[in-house]
Structure 1
Amino acid sequence: MPITSIDIDQEELRQAKQLTGAKSNRETVDLALRTLIAVRRQPSAVERIIGRDFEPDQIDAPTITPTAAPA
């Protein structure tokens, strides 16, 4: 993987690291990039779901109630 050198605001990096619980700067930046990509792709995924034709048996699928986790 090629190495890319960029200037990053250290205070923003510190805050992002703290908020995510990432252990390294690299992990923080990787998570930020993956999150940005997911957020930007989300609207098109929703549009694909909305535009899909469902069969009647898919619309009225049975509801599954989750069981409580053991304490």
Structure 2
Amino acid sequence: HSEPALAGEESLSKESRDSQRDVSSICPQHDKIPDTSKLESEIDFLVYKLYNLTDDEIKIIENKEK
């Protein structure tokens, strides 16, 4: 025989299903976002060049970004 549900278990289960549905609806949208890392690297390089940064200065900046 099954035990009776505790108070709140039913609503928790509904909340869990709602959250899962929300996450499932977001995933396809996230997959459509293009990878911009190559463009970001190119922009970084151009900015470093524009400001005539040294290799040491670039290393400092890149370490702070991580």
- When normalised by structure 1's length, the TM-score is 0.40
- When normalised by structure 2's length, the TM-score is 0.42
More helix by share: 2
Greater RCO, CA 8 A, separation 6+: 2
**Greater gyration radius:** 2
